Chain A
Amino acid sequence: MMANTVEAEGQLTPDEQKRLTSDMHRSLRRKKFRALFLVAPLLIFIMVTFVSPIASMLFRSIDNPQVSEYMPNTTAALADWDGDKNELPNEATYAALVKDLVEGRKNHTIGKAATRLNYEKSQMRSLIVGTARKAARLKPPYKEQLIKIKKGWGDIDNWRVIKRESKPYTASYYIAAFDMETTPDGEIKMLPENQRVYLQMLWRTVWMSVLITVLTLVLGYPVSYLLASLPMRIANTLMILVLLPFWTSLLVRTSSWIALLQGQGVINDILVWFGLVNDESRLSMIYNATGTVIAMTHILLPFMILPLYSVMKTIPPSYMRAARSLGATPYTAFIKVYLPQSVPGISAGAILVFILAIGYYITPALVGGQTGQFIGNMIAYHMQSSLNWGLAAALGVVLLALVLGIYAIYSRLFGGNNQMTLR
């Protein structure tokens, strides 16, 4: 085949070669258009529902419009002020502030700017909102009066925060996401140990996901092996049992774990009944990390079994038999022959379960309690309760980067290594 093409090429004159190349391109172009046409609906759908939300999230994590938009006069006045010089802004700046506060109160927008500034420094909100209530009655000159109303206006640090956050883009959400803060001097440093939340939670999310992945592998591998080695008819029946969880609502499954695992639940009752556990010291298997691991392992198990099964199905039983006939014990035959060939299934299942686990949200929220929360729950909290979308976006980006990084390592290790599966 190879030799044929080379020969044919050798016989072509340059003109013919050129014509052939352009013909090739034309015929391929039609094919490409056809392919594009076929995927277009999905492509558009994904652009609208997947890519653009991600892009908007990426943008939101650095977007910083509140101060510059709702306090435009102050922003402009502070542009010339040098915060390093240790002196308060001039009267014109105070006047601009009063104008912003009055207008902001009238338009109900000043609260947004106040909230934004409060993320950076506590008490900023009460400082601004409290002053805004009285600002309409003030007459110039403003500086002394403002400082009299709220001592905070005499604190240079507060002005530095306002100036810093009046820029249209900010890294402060990321700084917060890594448990750090910017001091009024502009220095970035770690928060005190007792205030750190996100790094610890990210780390917990990672190791619990790894644990869940390992557990699904340990539980799923033998099952997949059994399914792959059974006759088709029986394997299909058993496969339905594996897939059964897919047909049950996630909430139902998680709730049934609550019923099973809780203090007065089925498992504890049985343990107490058999006398294995004292009635007073019932095991706490739910509303903590244990509960999250148990419930998520169960929920994600099919995602491990399916890729494993599909790979194992392609390993002919004759390989194991050959190994045995060549003198290998069942154990050696498995380790040296079967296991290496099931590696593509292991890696596919592991990456699938891990990536699903690391972004999980509902199950940890329901059964995780304090110690079983994932970073996804924190993101949800900032989206729904604290309404700090910028921080939620930054945390989301960190999670996304983590997943992409892990996927890059995965494809380095296992991608392109198709020799494993070649027969």
Chain B
Amino acid sequence: MENSASSEAFVRFEGVQKSYDGKVLVVKDLNIDVPRGEFLTMLGPSGSGKTTSLMMLAGFETATHGNIYLDGRSINNVAPHKRGIGMVFQNYALFPHMTVAENLAFPLKVRNMGKSDIEDRVKKALDMVELGSFGDRRPAQLSGGQQQRVAVARALVFEPDLILMDEPLGALDKNLREQMQYEIKHIHERLGVTVVYVTHDQSEALTMSNRIAVFNDGIIQQLAPPTELYEKPTNSFVAQFIGENNKLTGTLQSTQDGICTVRLPTGEQVTALDINTDAIGKESTLSLRPERVFLDPVEGQCDNVFTGKVEEVIYLGDHKRVRMNVCGHDEFIVKVPNATDNKGLQVGGTAPIGWSSKDCRALDAI
């Protein structure tokens, strides 16, 4: 992220809290700095406070406590229409009684721009989303993907510095969603606008973002670039929420130089990276990605070697997902690349498996 070097945060949440009923905090102490030009995604399950945070930034909800800054200026008391933030909504919110061109002209008209200026900009925006000839249509006459592109174009046409997107691809089918992910990503790269994007779809977040803020229970669990989030989750929720995860629970036996030993209920000892553990003798959850587990490990390749019993084999073309019973835990998933030599995987059979302690992370207990 080259932009992260710039000193001043473009968007800043400072100790922001939100409660709807005065009893429960939907957002608890939110602190984020978003540098100019960043694509930041707020990711989390529904009810985790991500959309509420976005709505506070857009101005449709007021923060119960704390400050939100835009370009160094507190915007707590600035009305939504004066914030100059472009927004793309979940159901596009294209005005059904206006044509596509009128929809795009709307933000320009309310800014009292000249007629020819408006036409130029509308045309440019339509060309940008490759809908040049659709200006006279009504939104209802467009497909979901086209409506989505119009919504993006409308949010961009008045050249805001910040675009907010609230699950904009939620209503599209899978193929279109993936295609739109790239389109949005490319628009962001081309225009250099700052984007705050809300989604509950982790693959969407991983594909598009510079950084991802994982929300749960009104708190940011981890704020990190996609690779770091996947490779180095700092707590059990993130490890479980992002990607597939094998979870083993045990008690912490010892820890030294960042490497700890965890004893499983069945008696086995596992060595792992000590990332986020409590005191010795307390519970800890081990997180291990399925693709980091090796079947029939070569001598010395892994420092944790156990025997697994094959429960289920699912053929997925390029790889096989094998569900095994390992150390009394029968939801243990191993991804085996599809190769000519792995025929020995029979349901009911056993196989030695192993993993490196560097790939296994000891986290907080769930």
A contact set with B: CB distance below 8 Å: 316, 318-319, 321-330, 332-333, 336-337, 340-341, 419-423
Q: Are A321 and B93 in contact (CB-based, < 8 A)?
A: yes
Q: Which of B68-76, B83-91, B236-244 contacts A (4 or more CB under 8 A)?
A: B83-91
Q: Is B138 an interface residue (CB 8 A)?
A: yes
A336 vs B97: C-alpha distance when bound (angstroms): 10
List of A residues within 8 angstroms of B138 by Cβ = 419, 422
Select from chain B the residue with minimum beta-carbon distance to A423: B96
Select from chain B the residue with minimum beta-carbon distance to A420: B97
Q: Are A422 and B96 in contact (CB-based, < 8 A)?
A: yes
Q: Are B140 and A323 in contact (CB-based, < 8 A)?
A: no
Select from chain A the residue with minimum beta-carbon distance to B140: A422
A328 vs B83: C-alpha distance when bound (angstroms): 11
A333 vs B139: C-alpha distance when bound (angstroms): 18
**Closest CB in chain B relative to A336 CB, distance in Å:** 7
List of A residues within 8 angstroms of B164 by Cβ = 325
List of A residues within 8 angstroms of B282 by Cβ = none
List of A residues within 8 angstroms of B45 by Cβ = none
List of B residues within 8 angstroms of A319 by Cβ = 93, 95
A-B pair number, CB within 8 angstroms: 81
Q: Is B158 an interface residue (CB 8 A)?
A: yes
Q: Are A327 and B93 in contact (CB-based, < 8 A)?
A: no
Main secondary structure of the interface of B (DSSP, over half): loop
Q: Are A318 and B90 in contact (CB-based, < 8 A)?
A: yes
Select from chain B the residue with minimum beta-carbon distance to A336: B106
Q: Are A326 and B107 in contact (CB-based, < 8 A)?
A: yes
A322 vs B98: C-alpha distance when bound (angstroms): 14
Asked whether A318 and B110 contact (CB < 8 A) given A326-B154, A422-B138, the answer is: no
B contact set with A: CB distance below 8 Å: 58-60, 79-81, 83-87, 89-91, 93-97, 106-107, 110-111, 138-140, 154-155, 158, 164
Asked whether A328 and B97 contact (CB < 8 A) given A321-B60, A321-B87, A322-B87, the answer is: no
Asked whether A329 and B140 contact (CB < 8 A) given A321-B89, A422-B96, the answer is: no
**Closest CB in chain B relative to A329 CB, distance in Å:** 6
Q: Are A325 and B106 in contact (CB-based, < 8 A)?
A: no
Q: Out of B89, B94, B110, which one reaches A328, CB within 8 Å? A: B110
**Closest CB in chain A relative to B122 CB, distance in Å:** 13
Asked whether A318 and B140 contact (CB < 8 A) given A327-B111, A329-B81, A336-B106, the answer is: no
**Closest CB in chain A relative to B89 CB, distance in Å:** 5
A419 vs B107: C-alpha distance when bound (angstroms): 22
Q: Are B87 and A325 in contact (CB-based, < 8 A)?
A: yes
Q: Are B97 and A419 in contact (CB-based, < 8 A)?
A: yes
**Closest CB in chain A relative to B71 CB, distance in Å:** 17
Q: Out of B58, B94, B97, B110, which one reaches A340, CB within 8 Å? A: B97
Q: Are B80 and A325 in contact (CB-based, < 8 A)?
A: yes
Q: Are B80 and A321 in contact (CB-based, < 8 A)?
A: yes
**Closest CB in chain A relative to B285 CB, distance in Å:** 39
List of B residues within 8 angstroms of A325 by Cβ = 58-59, 80-81, 83, 85-87, 155, 164
Q: Are A318 and B58 in contact (CB-based, < 8 A)?
A: no
Q: Are B93 and A324 in contact (CB-based, < 8 A)?
A: no
Which 7 residue pairs are nearest across A and B when measured between Cβ atoms? A326-B107, A322-B93, A325-B87, A318-B93, A422-B140, A324-B80, A318-B89
A341 vs B139: C-alpha distance when bound (angstroms): 14
Q: List 24 A-B contacts (CB under 8 A).
A: A318-B90, A321-B89, A321-B93, A322-B87, A322-B93, A322-B94, A323-B106, A324-B79, A325-B58, A325-B81, A325-B85, A325-B87, A326-B87, A326-B110, A326-B154, A327-B84, A327-B110, A328-B106, A328-B107, A340-B97, A341-B97, A420-B96, A422-B138, A423-B140
List of B residues within 8 angstroms of A341 by Cβ = 95-97
Q: From B79, B83, B87, name the one whose CB has the most chain A CB atoms within 10 angstroms.
A: B87
A324 vs B90: C-alpha distance when bound (angstroms): 16
A316 vs B91: C-alpha distance when bound (angstroms): 9
A330 vs B90: C-alpha distance when bound (angstroms): 21
Select from chain A the residue with minimum beta-carbon distance to B102: A336
Q: Are B93 and A328 in contact (CB-based, < 8 A)?
A: no
List of B residues within 8 angstroms of A420 by Cβ = 96-97
Q: Are A332 and B110 in contact (CB-based, < 8 A)?
A: yes
List of A residues within 8 angstroms of B83 by Cβ = 325
Select from chain A the residue with minimum beta-carbon distance to B80: A324
Q: From B80, B86, B111, B138, name the one whose CB has the most chain A CB atoms within 10 angstroms.
A: B80
List of B residues within 8 angstroms of A422 by Cβ = 96, 138, 140
List of A residues within 8 angstroms of B80 by Cβ = 321, 324-325
